[in-house]
Structure 1
């Protein structure tokens, strides 16, 4: 750096005071962690992170994840001071409506924020996903003398992150895979919200990470810029086949005379008097608010210049690569932009009417057919790919030292699997799919929610979708899960009725490049229906009728059709509507929705082997729902459905009850 720039110590103090002032102005937030981590953050962003503040989307940038998302003002101050398009007005609007500086970092809201964090531990697993994506893309596209994909993933985590089980799962798989381009900094400050970490946490974290297969470096003084710099340099320049954790002893609320090293600095403003006292301790003007000295502000231009240089060097390498490998360069550009190959939809498999097939099996055929023409499709499962039928046949496994395959084996780590999938999706260049049994989606609920919040194109496959899975019993039989997923904004949940609906559901999920999808698939075989499916409409008329409407999803569509036959024997004409997706049906215009569910036909019965919660939206106040409002039973699937009242007779009886006394 030029000698005219401010010394790093002055920049560090600027980071600290910006965080203090923003939290105080908002009258909420977490000042302590940014105050303690400022030396770590400044050293990383100014010396080691390969990034271009002028182009936050540069494909070959290092990725940075602030897993300790409550320390968001650390990140916002760094982005502002290193030249990102985050003006001072946004720092002053910290945590305010419509600002680019929300309480926790949010992807797409703030230039330079790679991933939404806040729920502790998620960011650690997201970072593992970034690192896996980088290695998989490098294995696909790098060539001798052309390391066109060669960047690192950095993260900062807190004590709380490392208490959460998801971080254990993620750290374990990162060590197992030898992700040497993954570098984390642990903010070892010995304090959490309730008080000292010793209230609940006294394990030997470095020993745990070494046991996972990580290299651990130690910085004893979190204010020692040279020691931090040396640890980061070692991690970056001397890879040894392992991910690296830098254990850095810091002081939460550093410099606060009365709150340093206490929980009082964790999640509340310091207060006017303590702010003034802290600034005095820093040698900072007490009355100054949001002060950035000119010589510190000069760093932004310098770092933007350095970032441009790094990007220009890479673009020159990319041009040379394209000259030698034009096909690979074109493919890399395509997948990086999220564009699907031309004509990929035509790969959809065909299924013959009458063919009996579990929708998980049909889904496996569809996924493999699409994967054959969409090379960026990759999948992973929580030790269940043979049961969920998501394994990509003949496409290899990702293993330590060999990332050319397309099948990830997560082991029994559902929570980390979901967040790693989100990291892969956020990285760009790959379209990740992950799968497990539907009942275990509860382990992943926060990751699914965050995928929807970020509008990532993650695809979540959940099989064994109802009590019809049978003998494994109520621990494995989902009941409330459909209602839970349908309540998540911006997530499309699709429960197809047969193989043809399943193929369409896969096509829809893959085409949704800006939002996540959950596919809910059966264990038991289901007949392939005659009617042409219209899954993209969310619901459609499968068989027409004039007296009442029977609405169903998934395996219960067959139940509704059988109920229709029972009613027909009694002279009742029932319409059957297959409704694979509430969300897609809501997206249709009012005219279409009314053609499928005419207001003139208020006698409506919904049937689903799940909680009836949420169905009133479609049945109306005059309708009925045949569902399950208790846990399941251990019995063969058909017997379980019978015992729990999911039968054609129950559906016909509910319709009959609605029609009593009504003229037809």
Structure 2
């Protein structure tokens, strides 16, 4: 490979990128101009991928955490032979384009995760590395390394300032994820100023303290030094690596090293002067020399060879370990075993009942042995969220000696465990499980108290945007948790989760609804699911007298109807309040009021039904409706209508025993009956 061809290829990346930004009159030219050399070295010398099959499972994963530099990624994808055209590049950031402003998973071939909110992509990369480590440890055998790939991320100054990246990097160092390599575009400029205004830490020493291998490349145009740094990083089996590459934002442009180059087009004159500085022809735009395209397109043949070699290894693996091979193939296809839920129990009626978090534990541990894809854990709350996978081992770092002296095979054995421990890192936990899901082969969950979903909202939103099969288990779902007080008592969090498009939120009423909720969570594809569970006991409803909990699949269902099926009043509730409306209905019925009880565990599942089916549950002919839920009213008006009412909470909680709080806030059968009678009298 000649230095001249290297330079031509790097400048092809740079000039395609700035042409895209200029054509759109929108975008971020600075990162592509500065980071093109490191991207070129990685993609042409180290990254294992097949543009002809972007979903080939044993590919290396590449995450552009600095998603604002998307023009560079699209240039790489086009040049290396993914199913992108020059016309796609020319429609950068336009309506209907396959090249949106920030990379979007599932929208553009070759994009692994949706990035842009800084720090998220780096944490996703940690999750991808964890997924690879677990699958390799569980399925590889001596002489049969069928899961063997690396995760790379290109990160920026902004990424490393974000708290989520610090959380994830700390965990990655602790876990000794040796197949995780981050290239840090150290250009010393942010969107609004030089980094010296806000960021003066010694990043290298910080990451070394986390347990990372670090190396500094002092000249971002020195491709030999970048290449050597990647070679050393790949050999560090027992530590993730941070390669700090000193680059120049907007390299070669009139705005080089100025914050204006970050997020503003260079302008026609700026593009002209940049191309002159790089020795690039001024006309036409989007020009790529044949020799550069030929060199990049070698990735197609190289990738096909890699995939063919892997298929041969998989064939030999199938012969040697047929049962393991079949299980692994099922995971890679994302298929649940036919009888995966055969051991899920049904729960007998019990007035005392149990907390739905406890029911969740019983349900999960009844099916976990039949679902090898399930993996997950909590943000240091397993004893409280009840999410331990019994008998499935812990995902732990290998010993230093084993990892450093014997390499990745020895290190891998400690990664077999399916119980993940995230520490007190809720934000990183949610972003990491996104990475695990995006990697493929596993269905991950993360768990914490519902109140801490506030810390997790950005990655929850991104999971919904990406359509990832992620499960969130939120416990301690109301003021019913009691003495911990308002800092830990969620009030507005349900409304917050329900506001996220494509997120399915389920708040089951009892143990049997929990069982169905877990079935829905495991079976749902291309959408995240949030299970919202109680700390306090709730009765297990008598399903011989009430409707089957299978109604949960519809989102809302008639749990108990008026005797003649023509109610005067509809009581609607979710979660722990359902038992209250059932008892209230019995009392009201004694007074001659015809009452229908509706359990409504999931707005999203209910909204997926045709309007005619929703009207069967909440008939428009019955305007007297009372909703009961330990949360804010926001959103409920669509179901109760203008003539309805809601017993909810419009203020923060307090520190007291749960039974005292519930009575003080009006969540009693007597209060519900009084509210219902007032509603009927007002008509």
TM-score by length of 1: 0.98
Correspondence for 2:66 = 68
Q: C-alpha deviations, 1:551-603, integer Å up to 9, x for none? A: 00000111212222332343222111000000111111222211111111100
Correspondence for 1:303 = 299
Q: Does the 8 Å CA contact 2:213/2:236 hold for their aligned counterparts?
A: no
Q: C-alpha deviations, 1:266-291, integer Å up to 9, x for none? A: 01101111111111111112232111
Correspondence for 2:634 = 613
Q: Does the 8 Å CA contact 1:30/1:70 hold for their aligned counterparts?
A: yes
Q: Does the 8 Å CA contact 1:185/1:246 hold for their aligned counterparts?
A: yes
Pairing partner for 1:362 from 340, 359, 362: 359
Q: Does the 8 Å CA contact 1:18/1:77 hold for their aligned counterparts?
A: yes
Q: Does the 8 Å CA contact 1:176/1:400 hold for their aligned counterparts?
A: yes
Pairing partner for 2:273 from 271, 274, 277: 277
Residue 659 of structure 2 is aligned to residue 638 of structure 1: yes
Correspondence for 1:98 = 96
Q: C-alpha deviations, 1:168-216, integer Å up to 9, x for none? A: 1000010001000000011100000110011111000000000000000
Correspondence for 1:538 = 555
Q: C-alpha deviations, 1:143-180, integer Å up to 9, x for none? A: 01111111000001000000000001000010001000
Q: Does the 8 Å CA contact 1:348/1:507 hold for their aligned counterparts?
A: no
Correspondence for 2:236 = 239
**How much is the aligned-residue C-alpha RMSD, in angstroms?**
1.2
Correspondence for 2:119 = 121
Q: C-alpha deviations, 1:317-358, integer Å up to 9, x for none? A: 111111111111111111011011111122222211116110
1:591–1:240: structure 2 CA closer, same or farther, 3 Å change rule?
closer
Aligned ranges 1:21-100 → 2 under 5 Å: 21-100=19-98
User: 1:6 Cα shift?
Assistant: 7.0
Give me the whole-angstrom Cα distance separating, in 1, the residues matched to 2:91 and 2:116: 19
Aligned ranges 1:620-635 → 2 under 5 Å: 620-635=641-656
Correspondence for 1:183 = 181
Give me the whole-angstrom Cα distance separating, in 2, the residues matched to 1:45 and 1:12: 11
Residue 311 of structure 2 is aligned to residue 315 of structure 1: yes
Give me the whole-angstrom Cα distance separating, in 1, the residues matched to 2:237 and 2:462: 33
Aligned ranges 1:548-567 → 2 under 5 Å: 548-567=569-588
Give me the whole-angstrom Cα distance separating, in 2, the residues matched to 1:430 and 1:278: 46
Residue aligned with 1:37, SS:
helix
User: 1:620 Cα shift?
Assistant: 0.7
Correspondence for 2:601 = 580
Correspondence for 1:416 = 428
Indicate the larger mover: 348-357 or 373-382: 348-357
User: 1:513 Cα shift?
Assistant: 2.3
Correspondence for 2:406 = none
Correspondence for 1:591 = 612
Indicate the larger mover: 383-392 or 367-376: 367-376
Correspondence for 1:480 = 492
Q: Does the 8 Å CA contact 2:128/2:439 hold for their aligned counterparts?
A: yes
What is the aligned residue count?
Answer: 658
Residue aligned with 2:276, SS:
helix
Q: Does the 8 Å CA contact 1:179/1:241 hold for their aligned counterparts?
A: yes
Residue 681 of structure 2 is aligned to residue 660 of structure 1: yes
Give me the whole-angstrom Cα distance separating, in 2, the residues matched to 1:455 and 1:649: 43
Q: Does the 8 Å CA contact 1:276/1:287 hold for their aligned counterparts?
A: no
Pairing partner for 2:249 from 249, 252, 264: 252
Question: Which residues of structure 2 form unaligned runs of 5+?
Answer: 399-413
User: 1:661 Cα shift?
Assistant: 5.8
Give me the whole-angstrom Cα distance separating, in 1, the residues matched to 2:634 and 2:520: 25
Residue aligned with 1:232, SS:
helix
1:469–1:661: structure 2 CA closer, same or farther, 3 Å change rule?
closer
Correspondence for 2:349 = 353
Q: C-alpha deviations, 1:594-641, integer Å up to 9, x for none? A: 111111110001010001100011001111111001110101111111
